Amino acid sequence: MRQISPGSPERITMKDDMARYLVTGCAGFIGSWIIETLLEKLAGTGDTVRGLDNFETGKRENFAHLEGLFEFVECDLRDAAATAAACEGVDYIFHTAALPSVPRSVKDPRTSHEANIDGTFNLLEGARAAGVKRVVYSASSSAYGNQPGFPRVETMVPMPIAPYPVQKLMGEFYMKSYWQVYGLETVCLRYFNIFGPRQVPDSQYSGVMARFTLQMMRGERPTIFGDGEQGRDFTYVANAVMANLLAMKAAPENVAGKVFNVACGERHTLNKTFHVLADLLEFKEQPVYGPIRAGDIRDSLADISAARDAFGYEPDVSFEEGLRRTVAWYKEQYAAETTTR
């Protein structure tokens, strides 16, 4: 259908060319930021967005302020028929839905296996049937494991340790397979410890940055597992969102069937991170040290040149600036609770 806007002939909108996006995990930490940024970028273009979540770890409040701007479908990716229906009419998918956390997968590998592997497979099958053009998949840097050699480059042979990185890596292999076999353009983004506003801070499976922030705000001493000298390439969430949008728009020859690190290219130890957070939050106590967590990797540090070259990725928000924004957000969110103490 061709729709002609009143007034200027330049404003002809080709309805058939309008793009339809799906964000899986749109109530989650990273997915909700992707859908929010996508809606901002697409405003006025006529492109449409659908979001999907099962609220197992995501929260409706993460997108409540966007309701009415996109179509929300409550759906669990383990339900193949519902997932296929959610893919109908879609051109582009950001696949962030997952049951995250290395320790959760160590404790209960079957549940995370079903969510992460079966869920991703069902999504790809739905995408294939619906004629989706591209899927950008949230993969994990934990796939590198504990092999020697830093920084991590995408050409290294993956050596995942815990079930969660195995599951995320299986998703990558499926993505590559669907590109090679069915011509569905897929791009895998290996995230390195994404942090920022909306990351759940109060679960035993919370990411360390969110967990430490809330603990310090509550006056509780955080526990560092191990000696605290393990390093992570902590990456502010806006950088990951930008990587997703750029990867979705990049020329197929640059990205289809490929894997990219998404990080800052810096390693920060947990001890250092603890002290930066403590300064920001004026927390005076020392951490408690506990045993090393089963399934953990020791270090992570990314080479991000492949993403730079392929789609112009840059980590625009630094570690320090990301921490400041994150702390400011948690202070606002938890102000009532922490001021009444």
User: What are the strands of the beta sheet with 134-140, ordered from one edge?
Assistant: 71-74, 48-53, 20-24, 92-95, 134-140, 185-191, 258-262
d(C-alpha 175, C-alpha 33), whole Å: 23
Neighbours of 48 (CB within 10 A): 18
Q: Is residue 224 at the binding interface for ligand UD1, with CB under 6 A as the rule?
A: yes
Number of residues that bind ligand UD1 (CB under 6 A): 22
**Binding of ligand UD1 at residue 236 (CB under 6 A)?**
no
Smaller CB distance to ligand UD1: residue 49 or 188? 188
- What is the nearest approach in angstroms of ligand UD1 to the Cβ of residue 223? 5
Q: Does 211 bind ligand UD1 (CB under 6 A)?
A: yes
Q: Which two tokens stand for residue 62?
A: 């993460």
Stretch that binds ligand UD1, among 153-161, 179-187, 217-225, 332-340 (CB under 6 A): 217-225
Distances (CA, A) of 39 to 42, 124, 186: 5, 23, 22
Indicate whether 101 belongs to the interface with ligand UD1 (CB under 6 A): yes
Site membership for ligand UD1, residue 117 (CB under 6 A): no
In the chain, beta strands by DSSP E: 2-4, 12-14, 20-24, 48-53, 71-74, 92-95, 134-140, 185-191, 194-195, 223-225, 231-232, 235-236, 258-262, 268-269, 288-290
Nearer to ligand UD1, 21 or 283 (CB): 283
Closest to ligand UD1 by CB, 184 vs 277, is: 277
- Among 88, 114, 296, 303, the residue binding ligand UD1 under the rule CB under 6 A is 296
Quick check: is 164 catalytic?
yes
Site for ligand UD1 in 58-97 (CB under 6 A): none
Apex CA 97: angle with CA 94 and CA 98, to 5°? 140
HSE on the CB side for 232, CA within 13 Å? Answer: 23
Min dist. Cβ of residue 299 to ligand UD1 (A): 9
Question: Which residue from 270, 277, 306, 307 is in contact with ligand UD1, where contact means CB under 6 A?
Answer: 270
Which residues lie across from 140 on neighbouring strands?
A: 191
Q: Which residues bind ligand UD1 (CB under 6 A)?
A: 100-102, 140-142, 191-193, 207-208, 211, 222-225, 230, 232, 270, 293, 296, 300
| Active-site annotation, residues | 164
